Amino acid sequence: MLVLSYIYPILKLLTIEELDNMSKYTYIDDKLVNEHGHSVMMGWEKPIMEKVAELLCFNSGDVLNIGFGMGIVDTYIKERNPKSHIIIEDHPDVIQHIKETGWESQANFIYTKWQEQIGKIGPFDGIYLDTWADNRIPYINDLLDNHLKVGGIFTMWYNYGEFNAILKSLPSNYSVTYEYVINNNIIPEAKKQYENGGFYIDPSLDRITIPIITRLR
């Protein structure tokens, strides 16, 4: 009881993001996992990320990616040679991986929580948000209003419940559309990962949804 009385006040002060940043990330084969074995990013996402990069670079303009992970989407963005390419990442193990693999010379990096950069960078033609264990919903409108150009697009890793919550408070100067990725190699791998304790997608899905928010004015 004495130990708990000291530990509990400390745990109460930690956010989900802070607890996750205390979790060790490891790059194993074609995936990135945390210390509990949960997948943070998987190699089977490549066709999805290729489509995301195509959407973000629709005009070869200024692109922001929030959450480097395995660098999959950033590899495809780089191939499209945008005017500028900024990546925000805050997990220490991912930052170490970025430095060790030479990525720092291939894009502009900001090592901090993305919420702390609102109003400080941009604006951008394309923004992608793919973070892990992150409190995102309260900050989305500020991100869009401060960083997305008129005519620009925002997209993110799709979670039905989370995205619907975002739509409830989305201002009228934004429109919403969807793109879909259907790939025979994606769904079996995603289902296998889900069955092994992951929670990327609902295993009943036959396609991957990419939500797109466009700024109209």
| Low-confidence winner among 44-48, 53-57, 85-89, 154-158 (lowest mean pLDDT) | 44-48
Provide the CA 59 distance to its chain's centre, in angstroms: 21
Q: What percent of the chain has pLDDT over 90?
A: 62
Tokens found for residue 99: 């430095």
Q: What is the dihedral of CA 91, 95, 96, 98, to 10 degrees?
A: 140
pTM: 0.85
Of 2-11, 42-51, 103-112, give the range with the top mean pLDDT. Answer: 103-112
Of 70, 1, 49, the closest CA to residue 156 belongs to: 49
Report yes or no: 153 and 179 within 8 Å, Cβ to Cβ.
no
Cα(176)–Cα(170) distance, integer angstroms: 10
Long-range Cβ contacts of 190-196 (<8 Å, 24+ apart) = 190/42, 190/44, 193/39, 193/42, 193/44
Cα(86)–Cα(107) distance, integer angstroms: 6
Residue 75 has pLDDT above 90, yes or no: yes
3-state secondary structure of 177: strand
Provide the CATH number for the domain around residue 137. 3.40.50.150
Residue 24 has pLDDT above 70, yes or no: yes
Q: How many CB atoms lie within 10 A of CB 113?
A: 18
| Low-confidence winner among 37-51, 59-73, 169-183, 201-215 (lowest mean pLDDT) | 201-215
Residues 6+ apart with CB under 8 A from 117: 88, 110
Average pLDDT, the chain: 85
Residue 2 has pLDDT above 50, yes or no: no
Residue 204 has pLDDT above 90, yes or no: no
Report yes or no: 182 and 121 within 8 Å, Cβ to Cβ.
no
* DSSP at 67: -
Strand-pairing partners, residue 211, are 178
Mean pLDDT of the 176-194 span = 74
Mean pLDDT of the 182-202 span = 60
pLDDT digits (tens, 9 = 90+) for 93-152: 999 999 999 999 999 999 999 999 999 999 999 999 999 778 889 999 999 999 999 999
Cis, peptide link before residue 138, omega less than 30° from 0: no
**Structural domain tally of the chain?**
1
First-to-last alpha carbon distance for the chain, in angstroms, is 58
Residue 13 has pLDDT above 90, yes or no: no
pLDDT of residue 44: 83
pLDDT of residue 193: 60
Q: Which domain holds residue 111?
A: 2-215
Phi, psi of 76 (to 5 degrees): -70, -35
